[in-house]
Structure 1
Amino acid sequence: MHQKNKQKMPCQNPPAVVGIVCEYNPFHRGHARQFELIREKLPEAAIVCVMSGPFTQRGMPAVYAPAERARAALTAGADLVLELPALFAIREAEHFALGGVSILHDLGFVTHISFGCENHEIPLLAEAAQVLEQQDDCFTDRLREALGRGMPFAAAQGWALAQVLGREERETEESLPLSKEALGRIFSAPNNILAISYLRALARLHSPIRPLPVLRVGSYHETSLDPSRGYPSATAVRTALAKENWAEAQAACGYDHRGLPFHPEKSLDLVLLNELRSMSKAQLAALPDCTEGLQNRLYKACREALNREDLLRRLKTRRYTYARLSRLCCHGMLGLTGRMLKENPLPAYVRLLGLRVGQEGLLSLLRQSSLLVVSKAADGPLEEDAYRLDEKAYDLWALGAGEAAGLMYRQGVAVCP
């Protein structure tokens, strides 16, 4: 465990350090391209990744263990990979981004944050971030109106932002006029939602970290790995891996996955149902984002459903997206409660997953950080709820992948040349 150390080490520090908040589920050529674009703009920059652990933002287990995903990122050019605690990794965009940006900010040496977006209209996205942070009556009234119509939250938020920020003569930096409908589509695009969340987190933390956007190319949920379609989607890669199409996956990712412990998508379905069925309505109501009587639907649905897909289908309404419901179910399986979130508004620690050889300067900066950095799991804050949640996430992931418990403690720091 590394704590703040004021003694300087005689080594050269990188002129710029670019942070990326990511999942890499799994790492593929599109992610490697982001590294290339960063270094086209900042050739000498070091790249620090804050990556989700065993479970992703949508509440699904990652296909590969954090150590393997970190190793892939390091091999492709990342210099340092840290783990985003599960308490923030399995959250909606606002708090997923806040957790990652908070870690980058508290490290004290990150100069930029790079993220994907649908366009380069950062001033426009920054305005949206400001509106979301202020939450004035004009915005909240329109958000309530949209939600009252049964719109999913992301779409309702995008629509409300467009009503507040839309003006007849509004133009982009390329002097293209934007209607309210066009603004709504911009603000509702998945990558833009995260981009706005990163900008909002930077503003909330009064962070000097500068945004370094990368234009996203390709479809979010494209199922084909046809090279003519451009960079692969993670969905397409996971589909190929599930079918053991190793050659296709290797072409899309740049490395061979065979022999790595793999987590099949449905392997925890019965564990999930068992955990949810063991909970009372009051316990379900204590889950984050379980509002408006959703605990009653969940209580009934988990007793009737035979698998995870069936459960989500029974819960789905026009108001609730699959992503929100999937996170809710994952929270129940892991035991994440609203109380934990209130007691841990920001990450208090970060785990070191891997680093590249020759990054002594970066390692020195890491040791001087005010943030608690854990390099050996047994030396972490073992009595903290957030840390125990990480441990449970690892053990559940291991169970689904056919591995023994204690994975978090067996997993060492990946070191790549």
Structure 2
Amino acid sequence: MKTVGLIVEYNPLHNGHAYHFQAAREQTGAAAAIAVMSGHFLQRGEPAITNKWARAEMALHLGIDLVLELPFVYAARNAEQFAYGAVSILHATGVVDTLCFGSESGDISWMMPLAKHLAEEPALFQQALRLALSSGTSYPAAYAHAVNVLLAGLPDLRSKVNVSEPNNILGLNYCMALARLQSPIVPVTVQRSKAGYHQPVITDHAIASATAIRRIIRESGDLSDIRPYVPGTTYGILQREKLAGRFPVTWDQFYPYLLAQIITRGPDELAAIFEMGEGLENRVYKQTMQTSAFEQLLHALKTKRYTWNRLQRTLLYILLNLTEDKMKHAGTAPAYIRVLGFTEQGRMLLKQMKETCSLPIITRIGQNRHPMLTLDIRAGEMYAIGLPAAVRDKEKQREFWQSPLQV
């Protein structure tokens, strides 16, 4: 059966996501859908507002047939690594025909040609990127600059390309991953409308960004205020999770544990943390001594070179004591496919994947665990530690007792 792949976070799933899902089915003519979804921690380096099981359940009720987890080593990384991990998993299933993602441009015609150029890592691009980074420019800005330098020699593409918007950049990285994998999966894009990726202000009666929805939840505390912007199933799941004490989850709940890690390790040990580099460990330690809340620490650390997302990811790596050595040990390519949930049609896809999938499929955690899976388990345990004491102990073990959801 024709199957479309989606790469999602659903933090939380809202009406804009529902629009994208329907458009993906219509544009591709797919009879089934598979989503690769981030786990408990997300690409921007923050904890998901509710756990991965609740968000997988939202996806299944939306109509997605099979939800697969994006391992932590990709989920909390920059756009290139996030995209490579997710696309690799879709490719490895052997059953996905198309990949549909949202973008600001809504135009796929420039993405794959440019992606093929970038996938070869041309010297001109690499040189422009290094020079921009050495001047103190943030990575996203340096990347956009290097792309524009490359485009100077590609006049047929230059007028179409827009790498100043976050979803365009992410889409370009999806296409680069497809090119590097030499995947037969065909990319398709749906134009975002009515709410930008980080748009904090709501301008539509039914569509709001996840950023705006999380802001309402944080400031209001009344779930009824987000009711117009999320599907009924999402709303019901969030109500249930709130009553159970598992929602909402924010960085503030982990700040005491982060503080303990920074203080006890000190700059010398912090220097070994993954992607720390360039003396950032000294700045992190110094500013921690002078601040008393997570967001205050982020503001104190923020510079032109370090984006908010980069800093959040670094602090997350500190929280989990994720060193360069541990990340290297976890590997550079997906080692398994972990199932979070499925529908009856998803069960049929899993049966088909037994013949087509190039990676082992995990539905339960056994004794023999790949180092990449060990990091997923650690992330799940840390996420549980941020929850209220009444639910903490059970949730710490959830990686082991929770079976894939069936809807």
Q: 1:356–1:315: structure 2 CA closer, same or farther, 3 Å change rule?
A: same
Indicate the SS of the match to 2:342. strand
Counterpart of 1:100 in structure 2 is 86
The one-letter amino acid paired with 1:370 is: S
Q: Conserved in 2, the CA contact under 8 Å of 1:381 and 1:387? A: no
- 1:206 & 1:168 partners in 2: Cα distance? 22
- 1:234 & 1:74 partners in 2: Cα distance? 18
> Which of 212, 231, 238 lines up with 1:236 in the alignment?
212
Counterpart of 2:225 in structure 1 is 248
Q: 1:159–1:358: structure 2 CA closer, same or farther, 3 Å change rule?
A: closer
Q: 1:193–1:323: structure 2 CA closer, same or farther, 3 Å change rule?
A: same
- 1:85 & 1:359 partners in 2: Cα distance? 20
Q: Conserved in 2, the CA contact under 8 Å of 1:26 and 1:64? A: yes
Indicate the SS of the match to 2:6. strand
Note the C-alpha offset of 1:251. 2.0
The one-letter amino acid paired with 2:358 is: S
Q: Is 2:363 aligned against 1:372?
A: no
Q: Is 2:182 aligned against 1:201?
A: no
TM-score (norm 2): 0.89
Q: 1:65–1:380: structure 2 CA closer, same or farther, 3 Å change rule?
A: farther
- 2:113 & 2:270 partners in 1: Cα distance? 36
Matches within 5 A, 1:173-188: 177=159, 183=161, 186-188=162-164
Counterpart of 1:214 in structure 2 is 190
Note the C-alpha offset of 1:247. 2.0
- 1:373 & 1:329 partners in 2: Cα distance? 31
Note the C-alpha offset of 1:121. 3.5
> Which of 281, 286, 290 lines up with 2:272 in the alignment?
286
Matches within 5 A, 1:258-269: 258-260=239-241, 261-265=246-250, 266-269=252-255
Matches within 5 A, 1:1-400: 14=1, 16-166=2-152, 170=156, 177=159, 183=161, 186-217=162-193, 218-228=195-205, 231-242=207-218, 243-255=220-232, 256=235, 257-260=238-241, 261-265=246-250, 266-343=252-329, 344-368=331-355, 369-377=357-365, 379=366, 381-382=368-369, 384-400=370-386
- 1:132 & 1:44 partners in 2: Cα distance? 29
Note the C-alpha offset of 1:95. 0.6
Q: 1:211–1:110: structure 2 CA closer, same or farther, 3 Å change rule?
A: same
The one-letter amino acid paired with 1:371 is: L
- 1:204 & 1:132 partners in 2: Cα distance? 10
Shifted more, 388-397 versus 333-342: the winner is: 333-342
Note the C-alpha offset of 1:393. 1.2
- 1:171 & 1:201 partners in 2: Cα distance? 19
Provide structure 1 residue ranges, at least 5 long, that are not aligned to the other structure.
Answer: 1-13
The one-letter amino acid paired with 1:373 is: I
Indicate the SS of the match to 1:116. strand
Provide structure 2 residue ranges, at least 5 long, that are not aligned to the other structure.
Answer: none
Q: Conserved in 2, the CA contact under 8 Å of 1:131 and 1:139? A: no
Counterpart of 1:412 in structure 2 is 403
Indicate the SS of the match to 1:61. coil
- 2:271 & 2:117 partners in 1: Cα distance? 30
TM-score (norm 1): 0.87
The one-letter amino acid paired with 1:362 is: L
Q: Conserved in 2, the CA contact under 8 Å of 1:225 and 1:248? A: no
- 1:408 & 1:60 partners in 2: Cα distance? 19
Indicate the SS of the match to 2:338. strand
Note the C-alpha offset of 1:366. 2.9
Note the C-alpha offset of 1:240. 2.3
The one-letter amino acid paired with 2:336 is: Y
Q: Conserved in 2, the CA contact under 8 Å of 1:50 and 1:84? A: yes
Indicate the SS of the match to 2:265. coil
Q: Conserved in 1, the CA contact under 8 Å of 2:106 and 2:192? A: no
The one-letter amino acid paired with 1:316 is: K
- 1:29 & 1:190 partners in 2: Cα distance? 20
Note the C-alpha offset of 1:226. 4.9
Query: Which consecutive aligned stretches of 4+ in structure 1 deviate over 4 angstroms post-superposition?
Result: 167-172
Over aligned residue pairs, what C-alpha RMSD do you find?
A: 2.1
Note the C-alpha offset of 1:87. 1.1
Indicate the SS of the match to 2:10. coil
Q: Conserved in 1, the CA contact under 8 Å of 2:94 and 2:358? A: yes
Q: 1:253–1:381: structure 2 CA closer, same or farther, 3 Å change rule?
A: farther
TM-superposition CA deviations, 1:70-94 (whole Å, max 9, x none): 1111111100001111111111111
Indicate the SS of the match to 2:100. strand
Q: 1:349–1:194: structure 2 CA closer, same or farther, 3 Å change rule?
A: same
% same residue: 35
Note the C-alpha offset of 1:167. 6.0
TM-superposition CA deviations, 1:191-221 (whole Å, max 9, x none): 0111111111111111111101111122222
Note the C-alpha offset of 1:168. 9.5
Q: Conserved in 2, the CA contact under 8 Å of 1:225 and 1:252? A: no
- 1:131 & 1:308 partners in 2: Cα distance? 40
Aligned residues: 389
